[in-house]
A = this chain, B = another copy of it.
Amino acid sequence: MLRLGPLAAAAGRLLPAGLRLGSTRPARGWVSHSRAWPPGPVGDRGLLSRQVRAVTGSAHGGGRGPVLKTPKGTRDHPPAQAALRDRLLAAVVACFKRHGAAAIDTPVLELRETLTGKYGEEAKLIYELQDQGGELLALRYDLTVPFARYLAMNKITNMKRYHVAKVYRRDNPATTRGRYREFYQCDFDIAGQFDPMIPDAECLKIVHEILSDLQLGDFLIKVNDRRILNGVFAVCGIPESKFITTCSTVDKLDKIPWQDVKNEMVGEKGLSPEAADRIGEYVQLHGGLDLIERLLQDPKLSQNKLAKEGLGDMKLLFEYLALFGITGKISFDLSLARGLDYYTGVIFEAVLLQQENDHVEEPVSVGSVAGGGRYDGLVGMFDPKGRKVPCVGVSIGIERIFSILEQRAKASGEKVRATETEVLVATPQKQLLAARLKLISELWDAGIKAEMFYKKDPKLLKQLQYCEDTGIPLAAIVGEQELTDGVVKLRDVATREEVDIPREKLVDEIRRRLEP
């Protein structure tokens, strides 16, 4: 199993030599912008501040040049960040594959009508394109609706798939919290008619595995069920037409105190104070199997069909989670409501718990790092005959996790690399470009990751310095003497030891040295 190391270390390890994200001074070897070589993400600090300006819309490239920025709420990923992100995504995908999911890919563009009516109030955040000769298009808002469209379009009634891709929301960017207008989603979904709660339990197991693998610190997975919430609203005397809007108010209980939530219910949503108080008695509850049992005995709730179904399934879910050995991090929490309209059953959300970490300079507010739930009606919205395909899925909040890693990386001094180069092919005298080209070609053809300077006559010292700066472990040096002797001088960059290796044995020797 691919496990990232302890967080701070992992983040550090993924950074290129000498580059600390957001550090206040560029580290050794990356200072000058005008060095002919090495290339690299120089000026990263400048980049970060420029991105902040870009986000607030004030960046430009000077008085007379073109405007130099990325669109509001978007950003470039220089090599260090791209490498960190690739590593994170690989860990998530490894977990999805471990659970037997297949990848699918869908277009970034969807017909507008595919997205219409799926997201409730959030639909206003959808990016729309100009009319393309009669086709009205939009950028996808999530990966769930395209998945449902895909299932309906291809009449697929069961499938376990993952999808890692960018989605687009014209939200107010909060970039320090990892909230962008273009961001990755990592989704795993199980579609099909199965026995209750088995796929649902697997989704929670996946969240548990990924958050454990990434060693993000302590976390809690809150679980609830839309049917239980609706049952609570019903027995508290709320009309069905107000269920969804009441849901969205309840969902704020993790951010604001009950009194404020109650005020919103009464003042804005028009509930009676008595009904609000009755709701309050329920939605402030959280616990485990004991709470489920208690609510199953609740005189009012046990009379409500939906609530009873939901509670029965919740009990089953906890049984399965106990078999997975993960109930310690699961909380049945009646205040969890989730924003999206399409959920119909189990819903869940994972949050990181406040933790001690000396390395973190400023605390990062990250919100939830994973969420999901059951949406049994969405595929039916696309089917001409309304045929339903029950689905449950989970989305990993990779951008927020990435933000945490980025912030922690600030504090980590460990130097790491953005490239994987294993050998620098170097020459100690002039007029040896041909020798370098011939040797590096042999190494590439043998599958060895190799670089050389793009100069005819580079200085040996600069070549060796480049190895040290960028973490290349080996230098293969061919000088006049080596050419005469039919050998290559292989230098261990860390120890500075040099050994002459017969040319025909060089590839094997390099491979041997690179073995872990």
Contacts and interface: CB of A to CB of B under 8 A. Distances in A.
A128 interface: yes
Contacts of A445: 1, 209
A201 B444 CA distance: 14
A515 interface: no
A202 B421 CA distance: 15
Interface string A145-161: 00001101111111111
B444 A71 contact: no
A135 B74 CA distance: 13
A128 to B, nearest CB: 5
B61 A441 contact: no
A119 interface: no
Contacts of A67: 111, 113-114
A177 interface: no
Contact of A109 (B102, B182, B202, B438): B182
A151 to B, nearest CB: 10
A445 to B, nearest CB: 8
Contact of A69 (B153, B320, B323): B153
Contacts of A34: 157
A174 interface: no
A170 B319 CA distance: 53
Given A104-B82, A156-B33, A382 B76 contact: no
Interface stretch (A38-46, A264-272, A358-366, A492-500): A38-46
Contacts of A209: 444-445
Number of copies: 2
Interface in A323-362: 323-325
B451 A39 contact: no
Contacts of A100: 419, 421, 449-451
Interface string A309-323: 000000000011001
A411 interface: no
Given A107-B71, A153-B50, A323-B438, A79 B61 contact: no
Contacts of A104: 76-79, 82
B128 A129 contact: yes
Contact of A192 (B37, B383, B386): B37
Contacts of A441: 205, 323-325
Contacts of A491: none
Given A43-B154, A190-B454, A438-B323, A76 B106 contact: yes
A154 B47 contact: yes
A62 interface: yes
Given A209-B444, A451-B100, A454-B192, A76 B105 contact: yes
Contacts of A386: 65
B79 A155 contact: no
Given A67-B113, A156-B42, A454-B190, A132 B79 contact: no
A61 to B, nearest CB: 5
Nearest to A60: B384
Contact of A434 (B37, B190, B323, B381): B323
Contacts of A38: 158
A460 interface: no
A71 B111 CA distance: 6
Interface string A396-440: 000000000000000000000011110000000000011001100
A66 interface: yes
A83 interface: yes
Given A77-B104, A105-B77, A205-B441, A99 B39 contact: no
Contacts of A202: 454
A505 interface: no
Contact of A195 (B39, B195, B456): B456
A108 B168 CA distance: 10
A74 B138 CA distance: 13
Contacts of A101: 419
Interface of A: 1-2, 16, 33-43, 46-47, 50, 61-72, 74-79, 81-83, 85-86, 97-111, 113-114, 127-130, 132, 135, 137, 139, 149-150, 152-161, 166, 168, 170, 182, 190-195, 198-199, 201-202, 205, 209, 319-320, 323-325, 381-386, 418-421, 433-434, 437-438, 441, 444-451, 454-456
**Smallest CB-CB A-B distances: 4 pairs:** A1-B447, A65-B384, A62-B384, A79-B102
